[in-house]
Structure 1
Amino acid sequence: MSNQKSEIRNSGAPIGVFDSGYGGLTVLKELVNILPQYDYLYLGDNARAPYGNRSFETVYEYTLQCVEWFFSQGCSLVILACNTASAKALRTIQQNDLSRIAPEKRVLGVIRPTTEVIGNYSEMGEIGILATKGTVNSESYPIEIHKFFPDIKVYQEACPMWVPIVENDEIDTHGADFFIKKNLHSLFHKGPHIDVVLLACTHYPLLKNKIQEDLPIDVKLVSQGELVAKSLADYLQRHPEIEQQCSKNGGRLFFTTDSAEDFDNHGSAFFGAPVSSKQITL
């Protein structure tokens, strides 16, 4: 791995970063940019991806298995860098499972850190959400945004083709152009006065340049990674009892439940640097 320590000390407690596949690497990239001193352990559940169209029960089951794996690796803090897992599994894990399996540990998601600040970006009071079908159907973003910004109007658009486009290296194709234009047209038909668009899927930053080309010039396009990283920095400052457990050797380890070779080939585009992973079985 380039400019990365390939091992984390056995006595360390890395910060766990989880996604159903590669997308969470865009969040990890921002975490490393803002908080480079910490050890990170990334797991992509590629063998069972995508999570977006699976039931709440299945996403919860899979996510809990992965969280328990992180805990078995010494992680005291796990970030669900997956919108579907954050929407469908996080609350149940926090409320029902942590007290039973690891009351001293914490699991956080990507939805709340995003929704508690996204309203500050809008002057018109109308926000558009681009996400997977599972995230849209969960209504997590409208519900959470309205807790912090009750007067803001939220419009959602499910983009079921965007993840396959990214994962199949079809970004620079006419097909990608077609589906991006189609979904954006649908979103702005619902909310013509939207002035902020949130990419509520960790795959979508790889399409950011193309999306930007089709947005009105006065519309802000926001990705989650930087918001989540800033929120984590604040969380660690406010919770020294958790922060002190996190090891700080600058290490990065990558794991996948599917082919390590495939993960490494695709993952580097998401992480912005070469990755070297190991395959595990849950």
Structure 2
Amino acid sequence: MQQTSPIGIFDSGYGGLTIFRSIAERLPDYNYIYLGDNARSPYGDHSFDTIYRYTLECVEWLFSKGCKLVILACNTASAKALRTIQQKDLLLKYPDRRVLGVIRPTAEVIGNYTSSKQVGVMGTRGTVNSKSYLLEINKFFPEIKVHQQACPMWVPIIENNEHLQAGADFFVREYCEALMAQSMDIDCVLLACTHYPLLLPKLKAIFPDYINILTQGEIVALSLADYLERHPEIEKLIGRTKQKSFYTSGDPEAFDEHASIFFGEDLKSGRADI
């Protein structure tokens, strides 16, 4: 079989572009297709069933574009849809395809970033309510105590490009203080939403210097590189012409205007009818 299959990267909106950027920097030779479901974003407050249905539709769209491997670069989708897709849909309909998420790779290494064994997780309501990080971190580091904080205002602020404005300060500080009120022994804070790295300047100004603020891009990129090394049957199918394609279920012009903030360079997207 020819090496024409791109790696699919999915997010409910723009945030997964921060993951994609790290993956493309780590693995620059492969072909990629990014899909943002902006027409139905944000996912954070939807039910499990709705997020599963939306995520599966997007995964199947990427499959239709030739992807053999899809990365859910979205914490909410990883928390609420990944397991069902892996255990039901792939098994029954797509046994030759693979779908990976961002939660497990992060849980596998988070113990390397804390001395106090007290970790804070900041995410959408959907991610926090799923308790996925509590469960996954406990599998690898049962000694770690996880404190969670939902930050429902952060994604809308970021997607409206207001995240560096003074008006965002109240909501950034509110959630940070609510997390630290749970335990002053927290020494590692995981940004469990791919949008949140854009708030790093404000977060670093609020949190004490001793706190590690952990983003997921490099972690997921390293995990993907390891996965492809361990699964040559998948790796050999991926095209290597450095092509990057971008699609959105929303307005491509609006997507292009905002996406460069997340991806770090200008891009041109197409419309995905999902």
Q: TM-score, normalised by structure 2?
A: 0.98
1:191 is aligned to 183
- Match 1:107 to one of 91, 95, 99: 99
Q: For 1:258-269, what aligned pairs fall within 5 Å after superposition? A: 258-269=250-261
Shift of 1:172: 2.4
Secondary structure of 1:190's counterpart equals: coil
Q: Does 1:170 align with 2:162?
A: yes
Shift of 1:192: 1.0
Choose the corresponding residue for 1:216, options 202, 205, 208.
208
Who is 1:24 aligned against?
16
Q: Which amino acid aligns with 1:254?
A: F
1:60-209 aligned at under 5 Å gives the runs 60-209=52-201
**Cα distance in 2 for residues equivalent to 1:47 and 1:182:** 29
Q: Does 1:41 align with 2:33?
A: yes
Cα separation, 2, equivalents of 1:86 and 1:203: 15
Map Cα deviations across residues 209-244 of structure 1 (whole Å, 9 max, x no partner). Answer: 110110101101110111000000000001111111
1:11 deviates by 6.7
Comparing 26-35 with 169-178, greater Cα deviation is found at 169-178
Q: Distance in 2 between matches of 1:153 and 1:11?
A: 44
Segments of structure 1 that go 5 or more residues without pairing to the other structure are: 1-9
Q: CA shift at 1:174, angstroms?
A: 2.5
**Superposition deviation, residue 46 in structure 1:** 0.5
Q: Which runs of 4+ in 1 moved over 4 A?
A: none
| 2:228 matched residue in structure 1 | 236
Using the alignment, how far apart are the partners of 1:269 and 1:152 within structure 2? 34
2:6 is aligned to 14
Name the count of aligned residue pairs.
273
Give 3-state SS (helix, strand or coil) of 2:84's partner.
helix
- Distance in 2 (alpha carbons) for counterparts of 1:101 and 1:261: 34
- Output the aligned Cα RMSD: 1.0
SS at match of 2:270: strand
**Percentage of identical aligned residues:** 58
Distance 1:171 1:52 in 2: 18
Q: Distance in 2 between matches of 1:191 and 1:76?
A: 43
| Structure 2: gaps of 5 or more residues | none
Aligned AA (1:198) = L
Question: Corresponding residue for 1:279?
Answer: 271
Q: CA deviation at 1:76?
A: 0.5
